[in-house]
């Protein structure tokens, strides 16, 4: 029963995102056979070192969605205080896939031929809207900032885009990156721009 409710909700959200996508965001199921695994493309916000980049992410939804939030991870190179990291091959995505839903759904990132192994995010995006509903046991976040069933995939992705522009260095997933953002801002911005160039295969 819970899975049926979740499937209906996800299908409706997918239709909404397809018919009226937010600027700079494309998202949908990886396969029509599985509504619980999505891919998303997020454009880097203008006026930030992420500008010009396109960032691929994965969302996995629980069977009791929307009572519980999805998990989200970037699957492309990312240097950000609110991301976790590992080493894996470099990938890049073609810009035109952002404006073509059918191309996007069949798109898969392909290895870049001019870049070596690099540092990539592993998994969880650290942001309040993806945290379980209710009070924060650490008393850091307000319950209203955390997940609730009235939230949506669109709100998650908009929040993540905002996070790219304004990192939360008080609760970082990447401590080294947060320290660089606080203490050596120019170096942080240079490293982000390098990630963007590599992600575009430049």
How many domains in the chain?
Answer: 1
Both tokens assigned to 90 = 């470099």
Domain range enclosing 187: 2-199
CB contact at 8 A, 126 and 159: no
User: Cis peptide leading into 66, omega within 30 of 0?
Assistant: yes
Integer-rounded Cα Rg, in Å, for the chain is 17
CA distances, 174 to each of 13, 14, 112, 170, 191 (Å)? 31, 31, 25, 11, 14
Could you tell me how far CA 196 lies from the centroid of its own chain?
15
DSSP H helices in the chain: 2-19, 101-106, 153-165, 175-183, 185-199
pLDDT of residue 84: 56
The reported pLDDT for the residue numbered 65 is 97
Active-site amino acid positions: 126
Pair 34, 21: CB distance under 8 Å: no
CATH number at residue 69: 3.10.110.10
pLDDT of residue 1: 66
C-alpha span between 61 and 71 (Å, rounded): 7
Per-residue pLDDT tens listing for the chain (202 residues): 667 999 999 999 999 999 999 999 999 999 989 999 999 999 999 999 999 999 999 999 999 999 999 999 888 888 888 875 543 333 333 334 444 444 334 334 333 333 222 223 465 687 888 888 988 787 777 888 899 999 999 999 999 999 888 887 777 778 888 899 999 999 999 999 998 998 888 7
Helix (H) or strand (E) holding 96: none
SS3 91: strand
Structure tokens at 15: 């239709």
Cβ-based neighbours of 141, under 8 Å, separated by 6 or more: 128, 131
Q: Which residues of 111-134 are buried (b: 16+ CB within 10 A; e: fewer)?
A: ebeebeebebbebebbbbbbbeee
Q: Do residues 160 and 127 touch, judged by C-beta distance below 8 A?
A: yes
User: In the prediction, which pLDDT does 120 show?
Assistant: 33
Question: Can you tell me the distance from the alpha carbon of 112 to that of 62, in angstroms, rounded to the nearest whole number?
Answer: 33
């Amino acid at each position: 029963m819970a899975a049926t409710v979740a499937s209906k909700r996800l299908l409706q959200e997918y239709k909404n995102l397809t018919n009226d996508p937010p600027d700079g965001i494309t998202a949908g199921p990886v396969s029509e056979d599985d509504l619980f695994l999505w891919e998303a493309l997020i454009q880097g916000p203008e006026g930030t070192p992420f500008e010009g980049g396109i960032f691929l992410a994965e969302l996995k939804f629980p069977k009791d969605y929307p009572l519980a939030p999805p998990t989200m991870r970037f699957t492309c190179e990312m240097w950000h205080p609110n991301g976790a990291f590992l080493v894996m091959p470099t990938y890049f995505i073609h810009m035109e896939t952002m404006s073509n839903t059918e191309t996007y759904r069949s798109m898969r990132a392909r290895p870049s031929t001019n870049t070596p192994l690099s540092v990539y995010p592993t998994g969880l995006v650290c942001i309040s809207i993806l945290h379980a509903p209710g009070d924060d046991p650490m008393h850091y976040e307000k319950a209203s900032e955390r997940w609730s069933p009235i939230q949506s995939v669109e709100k998650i992705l908009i929040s993540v885009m905002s996070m790219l522009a304004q990192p939360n260095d008080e609760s970082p997933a990447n401590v080294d990156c947060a320290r660089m953002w606080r203490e050596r801002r120019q170096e942080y911005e240079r490293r982000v721009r390098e990630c963007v160039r590599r992600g575009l295969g430049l």
